[in-house]
Amino acid sequence: MSATILEAHPRDSDWLGWLRHELAPTRARAIRTAIIIAGAVLCVIISMALQVPQLATSAYMVFFISKESKLLTTITGVGGVIVLTIGIGATLLLYKFTYGHPELRIPGMVMALFLGMWLSRALTIGPLGFLLGFVVAVSQSVGEEVPSPELLVRGLLWLWVALAYAIAVTVVLNLLFLPDTPKTAEHPPKPKGLFVPDAFTNPAHVHFALKVTFAAMFCYIVYEAIDWSGIHTAFITCTFIALESTEATLYKGTLRIVGCVIGGALALFSIIFLMPHMETIASLVVLVACASAIAGWVATGSERISYAGLQLAFAFFYSVFQGYAPDTDLDNVRNRVVGILFGLIVTGLVFQYIWPERTSQRNSK
């Protein structure tokens, strides 16, 4: 996020006018939102029809991979599949030594998280570094819940399928329907190096990785210690919300909480009032399309508001879907929303008080 806190919110306190301006329709925004809706709906249909696990993650990857141009979306998607494959391979290799040995598995999680979060800042295409660390760390975090190595390997391979096909769907939809901007069409961006110029000299990248690792591992240790694994979304939240840089921490934290609350409320409303009356996948598709439209419209806005859309989608999908069908267990919804909020609070506190980083500090380097 490039805007400072003062630049991000209205100076004259006209929040309604500011919000109206941020949500104003444009042709490009409408097209990008339609692509996101189509991608999320296709992921839900494919996952439920073919019984591909991790439906919520597949649907969210549409938001994660979709970028403002065809080229950037394609580069991120292709690189994502490559990094995903490397990550799954690294996880399987790690489990050869850490399965059944938490004293080795937890240090492995720490190292994977730190490396992935550092690469998310050091690489030119930061999301690829994030994806590597996320896949390895999250896969290691669920090792004790899987009763046998065979089931663990099968689950990891299915995770690759769930993420890879969602990435492919997103890239294809963007290539087919996202128009080129005049600037991109006339002057294609020149390729850059693999690492950002200050990748190995700026201590802020290391500080960022350490903060994310600390926040995620703190959440993991807490919910394991109190035997409440249902709030494991706290661990996932710490990694997802720290994907980008930490400027305007307070403002970004507000966006995260607002998006999470709205997404959780939509999920709760859907489970209580809508899903008991749903008998076919067609009705579920309509629900997913409506939720994706709201989240996608916000996510395709400016940097001052887009992160709330990502959080809205994250909270909705992870609250509604569990397995191959929408979840109607309110305990699960409660656990996931509590986990998301717990992760948000821990990450916000860590980023606010440990090596706080401001926009002006990054721009001056």
Structure confidence by residue, pLDDT tens digits, 193-240:
788 888 888 898 899 899 999 999 999 999 999 989 888 888 988 887
Per-residue pLDDT tens for 8-35? 555 555 778 888 889 999 999 999 999 9
In a domain, 18, yes or no: no
In a domain, 186, yes or no: no
In a domain, 189, yes or no: no
In a domain, 285, yes or no: yes
By percentage, how much of the chain surpasses pLDDT 90? Answer: 34
In a domain, 21, yes or no: no
Instruction: Provide the domain count of the chain.
Output: 1
In a domain, 2, yes or no: no
**Which pLDDT band holds residue 89 (cuts at 50, 70, 90)?**
very high
In a domain, 20, yes or no: no
Domain that holds residue 319: 27-180+197-363
Place of tokens 């444009």: 26
333 vs 270, higher pLDDT: 270
